Structure formats: C-alpha cells, structure tokens
Amino acid sequence: MTSRWIVLCSVCILGTAGQIMSEALYIEGFARALSASNQGDYATGRGINGPSSWEYARDGEQRVVWETAPVPEVVSQDTIVFVWSSTLDASEAPHELSLNDQPILEFSSGGFDRPKRWSAGDVELEFEPRLGNPRFQVHGLMRLRMPRTALEPQKPATLQVRGKAAGGAWFMIHHFTDAHGFADTGTLSLPSGRRVCFASPISLFKGLESVTWQLPVLMRSEDAEEADEIVQLEAKLLQQDGTERLLNRELFIRPDALSAPIDLWSTADLAQGEHTLLLSATANGETATWQGQIVIHHLEAFRESKQQVEALVARMETDEQIPEDLRQLSLPGVAYGLEAAHRHLEGIRDTSLFAASYDAALQRIEETAAAMSDIGEGLDPYEGERGYVERAYRSSLDHTLQPYGTHIPADYDSAQSYPLMVMLHGFGGTPRGAIQSVMGGEEEDLNHQFLIVAPANRGNIGYTHHIGEADVWQVLADVQRLYNVDENRIYLTGVSMGGGGTWHLGLRHADRFAAIASVCGFTDWRVEAFLVASASDPLREQVLDTASPLSWAENATHLPVLAAHGEADPVVKVGHSRRMVARLREMGAPVEYEEYPGVGHVSWNETYAKGRIFEWFGRHVRDPRPAHVVHVTMDPLRYGSSFWIHVEALAQARVPARIEAHARDGRIEIETTDLKRFRLSTDGLPLGFPEEIRVTVDGHESFSGLVSGESITFQKRNGVFEPTSASPRRMIPVEGQRRASSGWRIYVYGTTGTPQQNAITQRAAESMATPNSNVRIQYPVMVDTSVTEQDMATADLILLGTAQTNALVGRIDAELPIRHRGDVIQIGGKEHSADGVLLAQVVPNPLAPSRMVQVLAASTTEAFAGLERMKRGAPDYVIVTPDGEVIAEGAFDLNWELP
C-alpha cells in the first residue's frame, strides 16, 4: 500500500518499566506479507477495514510470515524497534514469535485495555491497545525491541507468528507500511478518558458527495466518565491552485460512540487534484494537529452512469409488462450492483489503485445495465448461476436495497426439492463470510446438496431487533420463491450475535424449522454482571426475562437443537450455552451439546469443521402436523403461534403464558397457564384427524362437535374456557422502553415551544436518529407539523418534547397514562418535579393503534441524555435524571393503564 502519512519521528528516547533506555531506531515492522494461513480484509485500529493476515492458536500449524523494512547500513543506535499494526483476539492463548526462522519469545493474545509487554533475554515485545472492545478484539500497535547486533544491515528481517496448540484465539497483522508514522499522528484526549485519532484513514477522496470519514474513538479506560463530549475542530485545505478553504465547527461525540463522523466540504466545491489538509482539534485544554495529503476526484463518468441506471431501475420497478417475479426477486439484486460499485470506490485507500478500481466500478455499472436489459426482455440474469450468488430485496420500510448471500449446489435441479440452511452471521460479519464459515472454509469442494442463505442484517442491527427479524423473514420468503425448498427441511444456525439470533428466532418460531444450531449465542441476562446490576427489582427482571431466550426454552420440546461453545469464550460466556442446555435437558428436549476446552470465541471453527453441520442437520425433518404442541409466549401478537395452536390473549403482562395440546383419536386435550384466549386451527391437525372433535381444556370439556370453518377460538370466563367469536390480537406491554428502539420509527421534534426549546429537541432527535456506524439504516427526522396519517400507519413515533412544545404530543396528551404538566409529572395520584429530568413512556399510538409511540418529555439537552444512560430493563414508563438515576418507574397493565 502506498503511504501518504507524515512520519513525525523515527528516533526517540524510550522509557520502559520506569527505566531510560538508550536511543532507538524505529523501523516499519511490515513491508510485505510472505505467507499466511488466513488472509482477507478486516477491521483495523484506523477505523477502517484493511488487508490483513492472521493465524489461529489452534493446532500449532497456523502461522503468519512477513518481512520488515530493511535495516539501514549504518546504524548508530544500540536498539532497533520494529513497529506494526495488529489486532488480538480477546481470548488468551499462546503464540510464538520467530525472527529469521528462530523462535525468540512467546506472547499471548487477550482483551488488553492497557499496554502489555513480554520479554525473553534482551528482546521485548509490547502491544499498545488503541481501538476495540476488550471483550471481543483489540486493535493496536506492536513494538518489537531488540539489539542492533541481532540484525543484518541492509536486509529486511523475516518475522513469523505461529499459533500454539490451544484454544482458537488469533493474532492478526495488517498490511500497513506506515504503522510507526501513523502512531504519531494527532490524538486528542477527551475529558472522559477516551481518545480520538484525527488522522484521516483515507487519503483518496473520490466521494460522490463530500470529504467525510469516521474518526475512530480509541480505547477508553474502565473508569472513564459516561459523558457527551464536544471537540472544537478547525480544518484548512490548501488546494493545488494556491487557494485555501477554512472551516470551524463543533464535533459532538456520544458517550457510547466507537467512532465520530467528520464531514468537511462537498467534493463538488473543491478542485480535482492533490491538496494538503490540516486539522486542529481542541478539547479539555489540549490540542491535537494532523497534516496530510488528500486527492480529490469528481467521478463525473461514474456519477452520470449511475444516475442513468438508477432512473432505469425506478421505471422498471413499476413496469407491469415485466413479470412480477423478475421485478420483485431479480431486479433488486441486479440494481444492488450500483451500490456495490459505489462501495467499491469508497473502499479505495491507495491512490495508485484508483485508475484500475475506477474502471472496475464503471464496468460493474455496465454489467448492471446489461442484466437489467435482460430483465426488460423477460429473461432472468440469475438463471443457471451456481455457487455463491449475491441477491437483494427492496425493503418496504425505507425502500433501500438490502443484500443477502446464497449458495446454490453446482448440480441444482429445480425439479427436485432441497434442504435450506439459514446462516446468521456474527457482529462484523458478511453474508459471504458467513457462508464460507458454515461450509468449514471449503466453499468450492463441499458437495453438500443444501441451499444456503445468509442475510446481511443491515450490517449489525441484530436479529433480536424487530427490523433484524423482518430482514431474516423477507430473505427466507424470497429464497422460497426463487428455489425449490423443502419446507420441512429448513434449518437455522448462527454464530455469536447470530448464535443469539438462532436462539431468539428458533425458540419463538419453533414450528418453522426442522432443527437449529446455535454457536456461542446469548441466552440469559443473568450470566452478564452488567445486566444483573440493571435488574434492581422484580419488574426489571420481568422485562429482561422477556428478551432472554432461556425464558422461551420450552418451545424446543420437539425441536432438535445443537448448542456449541468455547469453554474459554471471553465475549459470550460459556455459561449462556450451559444454562440453556441444562434447561432443555431438564424438560427432555432433543438437545446435543459440544463444548470445546480452551477454545475462545471462534468456536465455530470446530462446529463447522469440514462441513459436518450438514450431516447433523440432514438427520432431522420437521413434522408439519404434530400431535403434541407446547408453546410459551409473552407476546401473542408477534410470537403467539406454533403449528395449530395460536395464543391470542394473556392473563398478565410480562408473565409467560403456556399452552400444551395433545391431539389423538378425535380428542384434543389442552392444559394452560396464565392464558386468557387461544385459537385452534383444525386444518393443521394431524392427517386423518376426525372432523368431529372433542376439546378438553384444563380438565373441562369445552367443545364437542363439528367446527364451523378452519378454526375455533376459546375464551376463559368464570374460570373455564368456552368457545367464543374470533377477535384480533392486541399489543400488550412486553419489552418496556426497548420496544421503542426495535422497530422502524420516525423521530419527531416540536415546533410549538420557544426557539431554544425547539432547537434542543431538534438536536436531540437528529442525534438519536443517527445509528451506530456498524448499522446500515437511517431513521427519518421530522417536525411535528409534517407527520401524516400514512407516516403514523407505517412507523412508530419517537416524540420529543411536551404537550406545550410538540404539537403531536399535544394531540395525544389527554390519552397518555402519564401526564407532563409544566413543572410537574403526574403519575396516578402522585406528582414529581419535572425540573431537569426526562419522562419516557411507551404506549400504542392513540392516532394509529397498530403502531407504538414513545414520548420523551424533557426541556434540556442534559435531560435528554438520560435516555442513553438508563440501565437495561427499563419498564413502560420511567423518570430519570441526566446521569440515568431513576426517580420513578413502573409498568402498565394489559390495557395500557396504570395498575
């Protein structure tokens, strides 16, 4: 990679372990990769993905070998320090470092949040953590110090890291040839103890819009304050023609931010060519500066071609002359080629690669246009494609194209049905990477005869998020339309975040899958100390239980389950799988468990080795009409059905309702707990079941005879269940405040307050609507006077302000269970001061009862910050101070009223 970084120093006086060392010569520790067990693009300490090589400390055979920059011929210093950029897995496992084929020391991977040193004789290795999460992975700098006499002048050194036989933790080196220079660029300490690196991670700005990037927020200490922070930023651009552009602005950094967006100028307003960029940032009485070169490209040809094809896409999407399947299933994937080309350009980090990459992006647009021409002629451009195939769908939420990956057997024949595996990637994963992982890395050689699909999950929105759930179901529906899928052989698996998603979706929809396999997935909040600290009372425990898969375990009574976990996993503790497996075994469910001694988070290398998961799944086939059904739910609207049983109303909010039904010999025997209403679908009963049935519920014969229609509903009255007329399911209180941040939503700020109040709610709305940079979604922000009935029918609303400052809050205020009255907040017969606090309540929208509304009533920036600082498990209403301290909180009953 061509370096454009300014190296600020190469000779320094070092202090190590409190001692002053002699002068040292710093040399770039990476010049080129020689060999590696694994290679690919990966996250780095610069806030971007970069070419990387890595090994796993698994079998003692994996290794990474690379060359350093040459050692100068004449060296006056006694010590040489090689510097390179690395990432370490959070799991502790040994690795061996060799110099010119000779082992020189052993070091360990691990979740380090401060510098770590290892030494052997007169050789010392230091790792300085800079970015990341110590529970998962840490990016940082490696510095290898050794005597000058150990090295040969005018030659590079050859370094090797070999994973020792333990665990599966990994060491990674990034292919940056300027690690030492980058380490000395401007870094600013914030009042909280966090640091921000102001060096631009991309030296080539070709953007279609602006000179912009994400500043990585570096490691923060455990005792760092949870504070919003403002950095004063000054930017100067010295253009090639001698003109200057100046900009001053405030940079707002949220307390939980892993990065902060910096947006300087529109590229259209700048001249093409190479310019000098100078940045100066001030906070906490400290100033950091950075200077570097950037190259501006306007991309006229790309912009024009992309706009033309986008216009063609818009026309074709509504052209009813094109077959519906082509418009709905093939066109989105083809059109996604435009976004893929755009992302390809955005990913260029080396000016020397620009010309070839630009040509490739233009070619991708031409290929997209050609495929669209095929669709216009009624031809499917995907016809006959095998192996890995990228597709996409058009989201009904925000009308964006959402990609997903599929793998099609080489000899796929649409005349026969195939099993389908749904693979959920982990945090930071991709559809292609997920499919390669589940195939044990043998994508091309494994003849598995399975269809595989991997949703993109909008990056990392999560599978327990309602939008993440919808992504999985949409992808599954599309694949079932595209290919001949055996609906009784659909399997679900996932790793880490995807392992938690496997538990979440698999246990709430046990009737959809033939078997599930969760690898290192979250199951129970009680395993995590920070969540235990949030559960300050039984109500919060109830709210946290509703989200924990362990509470839904009984739905796997007849669902084959494989759970797998690394015994030394530092990211998702092994206690999650142990608790779930213990619960499943206790109830006699068909569960198998694999625990890998000494293995850290990457336990999927064991579970998916050589494609063995296909053999395990292949042993299981779903019974679509079981005679025995057990279903537990706390949310009948979203998760109320299993096969021919449908829970429609509960006796209590946030308390699991259970129904167990046996169908045999014309009799249906049912037992219930905390249930108020349910429905039986007689068309789903076992084949050959008599039309005349007898239904016994909790020992009482509730029905005998022929069922009129395809289902019968029962309501509990006077302690017994009796047939009743059908009625729709209602939303009930389940998830507390979490419900407001799970679905598609619009953030609405007020216009009826003072100019200052309006400005405060607008800034708060814009901040809340901006997602984490790891999630590809943007929520709308609107003023209270612009929200339409259509908006309310299709989105939840987050209303910022009070009845006095937000017109929409004023419209629904009389129907809210909690009232904000100027200086006081009324909760039943009690009043609380409204001064400097935030009232948050979540209820169905009175103006659109099928959607939710969260009212965030506050009048200061500090008060709105209390929302971010609330501990997990907050119930339906809560009053909090700016630092997250709870003044009052509680839950609504099944009718959304105060109990």
How do residues 203-230 score in pLDDT, each as one tens digit?
A: 566 666 788 776 766 655 555 556 667 8
Supply the pTM of this predicted model. 0.83
Greatest Cα-to-Cα distance within the chain, rounded to the nearest angstrom: 100
CA atoms of 757 and 201, how far apart (whole Å): 37
- 459 is written with which tokens? 């990056």
In the prediction, which pLDDT does 10 show? 35
The pLDDT score that the predictor gives to residue 57 is 77
Tell me how far apart the terminal alpha carbons of the chain are, to the nearest angstrom.
65
CA dist 745 to 112, 770, 861, 875, Å? Answer: 38, 12, 21, 19
CATH of 736-890, one of 1.10.8, 1.10.3470, 3.30.9, 3.30.379: 3.30.379
Which DSSP helix (H) or strand (E) runs through 489?
strand 485-495
Cα-based distances in Å from 154 to 30, 69, 148:
15, 9, 12
Identify the pLDDT of residue 15: 33
Which ranges of the chain have pLDDT less than 50? 1-22
Cα distance between residue 704 and residue 695, in whole Å: 6
Residue 666: helix, strand or coil by DSSP?
Answer: coil
- The CB density around residue 574, as the number of other CB atoms within 10 Å, is 19
pLDDT for position 615: 95
Rounded to whole angstroms, the Cα distance separating 301 from 487 reads 46
Instruction: Find, among 437, 446, 452, the residue nearest to 406 by Cα.
Output: 452
Among 829, 769, 834, 770, smallest CA distance to 801 is for 834
Q: What is the CATH number of domain 384-618?
A: 3.40.50.1820
What pLDDT score does 1 carry? 29
CA distance 64 to 32: 11
**Whole-angstrom distance, CA of residue 861 vs CA of residue 718:** 52
- The neighbouring-strand residues paired with 845 are 848
pLDDT at 183: 63
Own/partner pairs, 240-249, CB within 8 angstroms, 24+ separation: 240/271, 240/273, 240/274, 240/275, 241/271, 243/271, 245/270
Task: Please tell me the distance from the alpha carbon of residue 232 to that of residue 425, in angstroms, as a whole number.
Answer: 38
- Cα(742)–Cα(547) distance, integer angstroms: 12
870 phi/psi in degrees, rounded to 5: -65, 140
Q: Which of 526, 519, 591, 520 is nearest to 553 (CA)?
A: 591
Distances (CA, A) of 834 to 801, 839, 881: 12, 8, 10
DSSP 748: E
Length of the chain counted residue by residue: 899
d(CA 255, CA 864): 13
Q: What is the pLDDT of residues 457-481, one digit of tens each?
A: 999 999 999 999 999 999 999 999 9
Which value, in Å, is the radius of gyration of the alpha carbons in the chain?
30
Does the domain at residues 11-183 carry the CATH identifier 3.30.470.20?
no
Q: What is the pLDDT of residue 261?
A: 74
Q: Angle of helix 300-317 relative to helix 331-346, nearest 10 degrees?
A: 160
Q: What is the pLDDT of residue 184?
A: 59
Helix, strand or coil, per DSSP, at residue 120: strand
- CATH 2.60.40.10 for domain 187-296, yes or no, is yes
